[in-house]
């Protein structure tokens, strides 16, 4: 009872002071997650891709049914972050068979970590990353890994400052265009990186 009341008080203080708040994304948030997924992907990648390829990807990748299926996976975890009571970004992490690639060890994958353009440079990406670290610790993971587009230099630099290094790469197709993701990884124990200011992440 006391713990529950304390949590409510803390959340009230956070909201009143206009600070950011991270919460678990559930089925009731599905339409907000859909809109957020489409907008952040569009902001991040449209300028460097063909219009028809982006439109096709957005139409297929973030449907309500697809996102519901992902949320219902017991080994995937979604979080949304608010800044001054406005929805600002989200995180998706995977463990076990929910990961998009299988690498040796007990790993956690950061599949998506996006911040809306208007809310970048406020440290929100680092806070979502910290939530991923917390999940990894809770699940007993040893490594954190992710895929990042080879042309997304801001994101690559962001992850390098967090201690990630390239271990692999794989190809994927955006419509008719072949592209390459860098696979980056770091040990979970390296969780003390704090001097991060770039928030354009993918």
Active site residue 82: no
List the structure tokens of 93: 């992490």
- What's 127's DSSP letter? H
What is the structure's pLDDT at 54? 96
Report pTM. 0.83
DSSP string, 44-94: HHGGGS-HHHHHHHHHHHT-HHHHHHHHH-TTEEEEEEEETTEEEEEEEEE
Of 90, 159, 173, 193, catalytic: 159
Query: Rounded to an integer, what is the distance from CA 201 to the centroid of its chain?
Result: 8
Please report the pLDDT score of residue 189 as a whole number.
80
The string over 155-186, giving b where at least 16 C-beta atoms fall within 10 Å of a residue's C-beta and e elsewhere, is bbebbeebbbeeeeeeeeebeeeebebbbbbb
Q: Which residues of the chain have pLDDT under 70?
A: 1-19, 190-202
CA distance 5 to 198: 35
**Tens of pLDDT, residues 120-168:** 999 999 999 999 999 999 999 999 999 999 999 989 999 999 999 999 9
How far apart (Å, rounded) are the C-alpha atoms in residues 178 and 64?
Answer: 27
């Amino acid at each position: 009872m006391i713990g529950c009341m304390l949590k409510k008080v803390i959340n009230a203080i956070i909201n009143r002071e206009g600070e950011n708040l991270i919460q678990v994304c559930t089925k009731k948030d599905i339409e907000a997650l859909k809109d957020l997924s489409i907008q952040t992907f569009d902001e991040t990648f449209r300028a460097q891709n063909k219009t028809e390829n982006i439109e096709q990807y957005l139409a297929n990748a973030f449907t309500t049914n697809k996102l519901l299926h992902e949320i219902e996976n017991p080994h995937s975890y979604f979080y949304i972050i608010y800044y001054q009571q406005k929805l600002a970004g989200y995180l998706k992490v995977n463990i076990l068979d929910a990961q998009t690639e299988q690498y040796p060890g007990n790993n956690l994958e950061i599949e998506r970590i996006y911040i809306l353009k208007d809310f970048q440079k406020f440290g929100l990406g680092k806070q979502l990353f910290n939530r991923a670290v917390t999940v990894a610790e809770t699940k007993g993971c040893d490594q954190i890994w992710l895929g990042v587009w080879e042309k997304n230099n801001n994101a690559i630099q962001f992850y390098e400052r967090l201690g990630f290094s390239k271990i692999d790469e794989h190809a994927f197709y955006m419509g008719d265009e072949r592209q390459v993701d860098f696979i980056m990884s770091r040990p979970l124990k390296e969780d003390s990186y704090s001097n991060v200011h770039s928030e354009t992440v993918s």
